[in-house]
């Protein structure tokens, strides 16, 4: 068993998740690369180890109860506590006007972006509760801001995605629910928006690099004791719900 600070980042085999893991590794965390794809997860962990970071691969499909339970069992054999959980895994499929989005696509998006987060967070709470300063980070999006969505003249107002946007609104509500529940135990639970980051999610059309997008996740994962909980933040500060 080790008392070195440990972080689990879901969907960390590429993009923002990989850069969050890299950033936490650089400041001394043991980082577990959660990935449902074994070859990509192993490759990502090996890439970080080549940079002298303490990185391990953890098979994890956030949509599968058995996979999450197996990941918890594996991690529990290796560490006695989990200091940070970054719920980064997310998808967006079936882009199109809300009137034409297929319900099967919306369901698949929610299965990862919302239910997967709840499933994973609940499963790893026993290990998180053993940490002295537990942190949970939800990687959200300003597209989930209802204040933004209700402003027809807002920047990128045309990005009106029924499944993805509403899943991030739901994720923000999930963030607040967990924050209120876990605050008496010293948890800091917050949502972070990476900004319009170039990743596979948007066919690499974003204006920000994955390293820039990862910064908010790293910051929220390492908040001091007097840091906020139950908030929604990006690089510029607080984001309106």
Active site residues: 164
CA distance 238 to 172: 13
CA distance 1 to 10: 22
CA distance 138 to 4: 23
Distances (CA, A) of 62 to 59, 115, 142, 165, 218: 10, 8, 22, 19, 21
* Residues linked to residue 135 through DSSP beta bridges, in sequence order: 84, 188
């Amino acid at each position: 068993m080790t008392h070195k600070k440990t972080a689990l980042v879901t969907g960390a085999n590429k993009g923002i998740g990989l850069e969050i893991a890299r950033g936490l590794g650089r400041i001394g965390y043991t980082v577990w690369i959660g990935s449902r794809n074994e070859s990509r997860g192993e490759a990502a962990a090996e890439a970080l180890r080549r940079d002298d970071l303490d990185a391990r691969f953890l098979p994890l499909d956030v949509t599968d109860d058995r996979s999450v339970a197996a990941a918890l069992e594996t991690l529990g054999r290796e560490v006695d506590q989990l200091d940070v959980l970054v719920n980064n895994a997310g998808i967006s499929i079936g882009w199109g006007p809300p009137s034409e989005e297929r319900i099967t696509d919306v369901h698949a998006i929610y299965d990862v972006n919302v239910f997967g987060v709840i499933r994973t967070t609940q499963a790893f709470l026993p290990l998180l509760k053993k940490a002295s300063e537990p942190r949970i980070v939800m990687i959200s999006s300003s597209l989930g801001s209802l204040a933004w969505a209700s402003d027809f003249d807002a920047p990128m107002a045309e990005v009106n995605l029924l499944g993805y946007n509403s899943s991030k609104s739901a994720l923000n509500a999930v963030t607040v629910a967990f924050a209120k529940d876990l605050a008496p135990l010293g948890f800091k639970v917050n949502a972070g928006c990476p900004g319009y980051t170039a990743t596979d999610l948007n066919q690499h059309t974003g204006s920000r690099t994955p390293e820039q997008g990862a910064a908010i996740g790293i910051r929220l994962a390492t908040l001091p004791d007097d840091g906020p909980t139950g908030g929604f933040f990006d690089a510029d500060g607080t984001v309106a719900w």
